[in-house]
Amino acid sequence: MSIFITNLSFDNSLFINESKLAVLLGSLISSFNGSIVVSCNKREKTLNSGADPCKLV
């Protein structure tokens, strides 16, 4: 990995683009985790209410 960074150390635009991709990837992972938490929360509320979670409404 250090060889890769050493060879590209003079290309600042590459590092700027990589940081933008890292921020984008981080936000996508964060939103995905948030959607999992919300869906699990909805499922838990459905189970606690006594309703059948497999029944289609």
Which range marks the domain in which residue 8 is found?
1-33
Tell me, what's the pLDDT at 10? 58
| pLDDT the model gives residue 1 | 47
Assess if residue 24 is contained within a domain.
yes
**Predicted confidence pLDDT, tens digits, the chain (57 residues):** 455 555 555 566 767 778 888 888 888 888 888 787 777 777 766 666 665 556 554
Does some domain include residue 9?
Answer: yes
Helical residues (DSSP H) of the chain, grouped into ranges: 2-7, 12-48
Count of structural domains within the chain = 1
Q: Are 46 and 53 in contact (CB under 8 A)?
A: yes
Give 46's contacts (C-beta < 8 A, 6+ positions apart): 53
Q: Per the domain annotation, does 39 fall within a domain? A: no
Is the residue at 8 inside a domain? yes
- Is the whole-model pTM more than 0.85? no
Q: Give ∠ CA 5-31-14 in degrees, rounded to 5.
A: 20
38 domain residue, yes or no: no
